[in-house]
Structure 1
Amino acid sequence: MAEVRTARSVWTGSVTEGGGKVTAVTSGTFTDLDVTLPTRSGAAEGNTSPEELIAAAHASCYSMALSAGLTRAGTPPDSLDVSASVTFDMVDGAPTVTTSVLSVSGSVPGVTADQFAEAAETAKNGCPISRALAGVEISLESVSLA
């Protein structure tokens, strides 16, 4: 059965002078995160952005995909540290998410650096958020700490 997760954004005012509040409806884990155009395209000043939320989704989804793959192979990780950096740029005059750079380091007993890199690449390609971002260049840096 398909799982549905819902977030809501309420925006007031013009795009340049107004602002929005983003809430995780399904889980309730965050409410009223501030978003504005000036902080989206400049200094964050304590506000989030759609791109930062995409980065959070990508990092968390990828860490689950990598953990699942390693566990299926009989080598569950002791720890994984994943970050995703999403780039928001103008392409042909339109604002566009252009890249998501994943960086992962992990401690996985019994796994060589080459095996870790292979598992990391497999997870990058199989992660549901990676697949959702199919039109975005996704690169990966992996470091085995074992």
Structure 2
Amino acid sequence: MPTRTADAVWNGGLVEGTGTLKTGSGALNLPYTWKARAEDGAGTNPEELIAAAHAGCYSMAFSHILGGAGFKSKTIQTTAKVAFEKQGDGFAITKIDLVTTAEIPGIDDATFQKLATMAKEGCPVSKALSATPISLSATLKK
């Protein structure tokens, strides 16, 4: 398996500075700022990118686990909410809430919930972020 890369360039001090985040594939080349991270400024931020990675990874892991159990998903839509908060003298990612809604023909809710939880526990990004509390709300769409 390949190793994935991303680069960050930051210019200036924390509050007034600006930066650029770029993925090795070239799929992303985005500005980021402190205001985008701590307020409602333009650009992206590390937490938003973590949320995107987690939502994408979880949806893929859930699809894989469903397939292994004999189910084929029509759709899996996941939102990851990454909380960034002041803690002591610094900041921390304090929790991640995964919210998923999926349309899976032929599955009952108990099996759906069990497999959704397995996906949360088995998702590689969930494993990488395991030091942070991760919650899951899974809704079966009928």
Tell me the TM-score range normalised by the shorter chain: over 0.9
How much is the aligned-residue C-alpha RMSD, in angstroms?
1.0
For structure 2, the 5+ residue unaligned runs are none
Q: Distance in 2 between matches of 1:128 and 1:82?
A: 15
Match of 1:38 among 21, 35, 40: 35
Deviation at 1:86, TM superposition (A): 0.2
SS of structure 2 residue aligned to 1:136:
coil
Matches within 5 A, 1:90-109: 90-109=86-105
Provide, for residues 59-83 of structure 1, a one-character-per-residue CA deviation record: whole Å limited to 9, x for no partner. Answer: 0000010000001111010110111
After the TM superposition, list the runs of 4 or more consecutive aligned residues in structure 1 that deviate by more than 4 angstroms.
none
Within the alignment, does 1:18 sit opposite 2:17 as a pair?
Answer: yes
Q: Distance in 2 between matches of 1:109 and 1:38?
A: 43
Q: Distance in 2 between matches of 1:38 and 1:97?
A: 16
Q: Distance in 2 between matches of 1:49 and 1:118?
A: 33
Q: Distance in 2 between matches of 1:81 and 1:57?
A: 13
Deviation at 1:18, TM superposition (A): 0.9
**Structure 1: which amino acid aligns with 2:77?**
D
**TM value normalised by structure 1:** 0.93
Q: Check conservation: 2:33, 2:41, Cα contact below 8 A.
A: no
Match of 2:126 among 124, 130, 135: 130
**TM value normalised by structure 2:** 0.96
Matched residues, number: 142
**Percent of aligned positions that are identical:** 38
SS of structure 2 residue aligned to 1:95:
strand
Which residue does the alignment assign to 1:52?
A: 48
Q: Distance in 2 between matches of 1:14 and 1:44?
A: 16
